[in-house]
Chains A and B, each alone.
Chain A
Amino acid sequence: MNILEAVFTGITQGAMIALVALGYTMVYGVLKLINFAHSEVFMMAAYFGLVFLSLLIGDVSAVNGIVSPEAASSTFAGVFGALRGHPLAAAAAATVLAMLAASALGIGVERVAYKPLRGRGKGALVRVTPLVTALGMSVLLQNLAQLLFTARFRPYPQVLSGEVQVPGLGAITSSRALILGASIIVMIGLELIVKRTWFGKAMRALSANEEAARLMGVRTSRVISMTFALGSSLAALGAVLFCLDQSQVYPTMGVVIGTRAFVAAVLGGIGSITGAMLGGLLIGIIGELVKLTDYSGGVDVLVFLVLILVLLVRPAGLLGSTRTEKV
């Protein structure tokens, strides 16, 4: 495996990590809160994708214990049976359904754990309390997944096979090509949403000054919910793409990928959307390059070391802005 190939693999990995990192960074942008539960939304989304895909292609062997074969062939067949025999259409539909379910989950997390705290508390507690509930939600979701789906590694049905020829690099698997293509399209789309739409404008206004935004008629509560929904659906897309590549689903996957995505968001400058993309790509490439050396187990050590070093030089991340505090 040469360096060029590793860099390319790193870019695909990084694009996927960046999708998850965007969720962290958008929520931080509007709420100034590190949403630790985001990595678990990613994990839950992978399970949603797995369940929906299994139902849609009519093969429930991967989800035994979650959905019984009888229910799949009788109760759900009427709803999900239409796409049987078209695996690619089924995969696309499952992805959309997973994104919707993850959005609902994201909004739910916000309603339960963050909304009741907003505008309450005093002094130093204002910042710390939501962080604790965020950690609590993360632990809760992770263990809920273990309770419902058990700690088993579940195989993800592979609907995409074959290779694509890329000029200059040779053959790459079509799932990788899809990951890269989908990530690029989604990031361009997100950039357009944030820069060109009313919602994006409201989000940026909220990020700059919540009180002023509310006075200008922005319904802050709704914008926050929409931000969570958008971030969670991006995480769901990332989860489905991750499963295409790694083809395994397990309750602690959120910790593994979520941590890297989180580091990517901070590295790029949390709150900055371009920063999250840049950070994701960096983390992906670093991860793949380390695998070329003897220390392949030390990826996460290096990732955190890079993070700490970057933070020491640029305290707000690569593209983050530091505002001087006015007295």
Chain B
Amino acid sequence: MARGQAGKSGGLRWSRLAVGAGVLGVALLCDLYLADFVHDSSIRQLFMLAACNVLVASSLNVINGMAGQFSIGHAGFVGLGGYTSAVIASNLHEMLGGGEPTFARSFIVVPVCLLASATLAGIFGFLVGLPSLRLRGDYLAIVTLGFAEIFRLVIATAQAGEDGSPIARALSRLGGQNGYMGIDNQGIPLYAGPFWVFGLAFVLGVVAWRIKFSGWGRALRALREDEIAAAAVGVDPTRYKVTSFVIAAVGAGVAGGLMAIMRDGTPIVNPDNYNFQASFDAITMVILGGSGSVTGAAIGGVFITFSIKAIEQVQATSAVQALRREFESLDLNALRMIVYALVLVLLMVVRPEGLLGERELFQKRRGGRGGSGPDAPRAGAKAEAA
């Protein structure tokens, strides 16, 4: 937002640069010293997972929130990125001579992995986005679901065996149902430290913000509210929709790539991590924060990550353990998802627009012109009434 102000006052630009540099500096310090402050590796993993989920949520927000399409197969892109990055990291690690993943070496490995993940996910995002020329709404959602399921099933059902076509052999090396654990099952080298995870979460968050408040984002919102009206004033629906799909897929690819090689993470990628449940989690993050809101998506990503962990903690408490002994026939492992789904349904009934709606935290008020968030829905309602 506030493109004009940034151009006018040089001071503001410098302060922005300073903020950016500051955040990256903090991320760098985290990378070097986080392990000394936070001794529990599961806590470190949680923080980094939250940052990755912020990326997942903000990328899905581009399709579901800004463009108004409904993708329910986001986990497919995340998984594509995850597998790509895992395979490349393992091979690069082998080429660089193995050993412990060092921070200096991560400057070679991580960018290569993430570029490859982003490119591949982007190509598939283009392919999945193409049908949006012909399909609308629900049908497009089904195609995205179909893509995610095909991706997961192809990997999960690839059977080990050295016969068959080269493609089948390559796929079977990805480990099938058991997941991919690097070359010779040594585990994936976990290169991406906090510097990469937090740094990229920040940088891509800023990118998402700029997308929303650019002319491009405004065109997308116009398209969402009324496709025909937007097309009539010169917004090409096809181009914008497909591009938004590609952007979202690239973001998801980066997020998945980071998750797969995240330090303190698990050195394995498993097709079950990318099932429909994962797509559903991503949708929850976006909806919870408020679809269309960048900061909302970030809040949703962090909140869901932490609440999943919190419910797990609650399940380990003595009260729940006592309950478990009381009702032996019940399977209390399912409790987490029940609470989770219940909250989601209630939230939707009580407050369909999510926590923030389309508003942003830290949004400056601008008088008069400026068609950001809150005005758009009203225009849509008017168009519908007409």
| Residue ranges of A at the interface with B (Cβ–Cβ < 8 Å) | 28, 34, 64-66, 112-113, 116-117, 120-125, 127-129, 131-133, 135-137, 139-140, 142-144, 146-151, 255, 259, 263, 266, 270, 297-298, 300-301, 304-305, 307-308, 311-312, 315-316, 325, 327
**B140–chain A nearest beta-carbon distance, Å:** 9
Q: Which residues of A contact B131 (CB under 8 A)?
A: 308, 311-312
Contact B340 A132 (CB under 8 A): no
A145 nearest CB neighbor, chain B only: B334
Distance A255 CA – B135 CA, assembled complex (angstroms): 24
**A84–chain B nearest beta-carbon distance, Å:** 25
Contact A305 B345 (CB under 8 A): no
- 7 A/B residue pairs, CB under 8 Å, sorted by A: A112-B345, A113-B345, A124-B380, A127-B137, A136-B344, A304-B150, A315-B135
Distance A144 CA – B333 CA, assembled complex (angstroms): 10
Contact B338 A297 (CB under 8 A): no
Contact A266 B331 (CB under 8 A): no
Q: Which residues of B contact A64 (CB under 8 A)?
A: 329
Asked if B370 CB lies within 8 Å of chain A CBs, one says no
Q: B277-299 CB contact bits vs A (8 Å, 1 = yes)?
A: 10010011001000100000000
Distance A315 CA – B142 CA, assembled complex (angstroms): 11
Contact status of A311 and B150, CB under 8 A, knowing A122-B381, A139-B340:
no
**A251–chain B nearest beta-carbon distance, Å:** 8
Contact A128 B150 (CB under 8 A): no
Distance A136 CA – B146 CA, assembled complex (angstroms): 19
Q: Which residues of A contact B149 (CB under 8 A)?
A: 259, 300-301, 304
Chain B, interface SS category: helix
Which of B9-17, B53-61, B153-161 is found at the contact surface with chain A? B153-161
**B136–chain A nearest beta-carbon distance, Å:** 8
Contact A123 B225 (CB under 8 A): yes
Distance A135 CA – B136 CA, assembled complex (angstroms): 19
Q: Which residues of A contact B333 (CB under 8 A)?
A: 146
**B349–chain A nearest beta-carbon distance, Å:** 5
Please tell me the size bucket of the interface on B: 35 or more
Contact A122 B331 (CB under 8 A): no
Q: Which residues of B contact A140 (CB under 8 A)?
A: 337-338, 341-342, 345
Contact A297 B380 (CB under 8 A): no
Q: Which residues of A contact B70 (CB under 8 A)?
A: 127-128, 131
Distance A116 CA – B136 CA, assembled complex (angstroms): 25
**A95–chain B nearest beta-carbon distance, Å:** 26
**B374–chain A nearest beta-carbon distance, Å:** 11
What 8 pairs between A and B have smallest CB-CB spacing? A123-B380, A65-B329, A140-B341, A146-B334, A297-B157, A143-B334, A124-B68, A143-B337
Contact status of A311 and B139, CB under 8 A, knowing A133-B349, A150-B331, A301-B154:
yes
Asked if B352 CB lies within 8 Å of chain A CBs, one says yes
Distance A255 CA – B276 CA, assembled complex (angstroms): 10
| Residue ranges of B at the interface with A (Cβ–Cβ < 8 Å) | 64, 68, 70, 72, 131, 134-139, 141-143, 146-147, 149-150, 153-154, 157, 159, 224-225, 228, 276-277, 280, 283-284, 287, 291, 329-338, 340-342, 344-345, 348-349, 352-353, 376-378, 380-381, 384
Distance A129 CA – B70 CA, assembled complex (angstroms): 11
Contact status of A34 and B345, CB under 8 A, knowing A125-B352, A139-B340:
no
Distance A301 CA – B153 CA, assembled complex (angstroms): 6
Distance A315 CA – B133 CA, assembled complex (angstroms): 10
Distance A300 CA – B344 CA, assembled complex (angstroms): 29
Distance A135 CA – B340 CA, assembled complex (angstroms): 12
Most chain A CB atoms below 10 A, which of B64, B139, B276, B378: B139
Contact A147 B349 (CB under 8 A): no
Q: Which residues of A contact B134 (CB under 8 A)?
A: 312, 315
Distance A120 CA – B228 CA, assembled complex (angstroms): 23
Q: Which residues of B contact A124 (CB under 8 A)?
A: 68, 224-225, 380
Contact status of A147 and B345, CB under 8 A, knowing A66-B329, A128-B64:
no
Contact B348 A298 (CB under 8 A): no
Contact B352 A117 (CB under 8 A): yes
Contact A132 B283 (CB under 8 A): yes
B328 nearest CB neighbor, chain A only: A65
Distance A177 CA – B284 CA, assembled complex (angstroms): 44
Distance A125 CA – B135 CA, assembled complex (angstroms): 18
Contact B142 A132 (CB under 8 A): no
Contact A122 B380 (CB under 8 A): yes
Q: Which residues of A contact B136 (CB under 8 A)?
A: 315
**A187–chain B nearest beta-carbon distance, Å:** 24
B379 nearest CB neighbor, chain A only: A123
Distance A265 CA – B153 CA, assembled complex (angstroms): 21
Q: Which residues of B contact A121 (CB under 8 A)?
A: 352-353
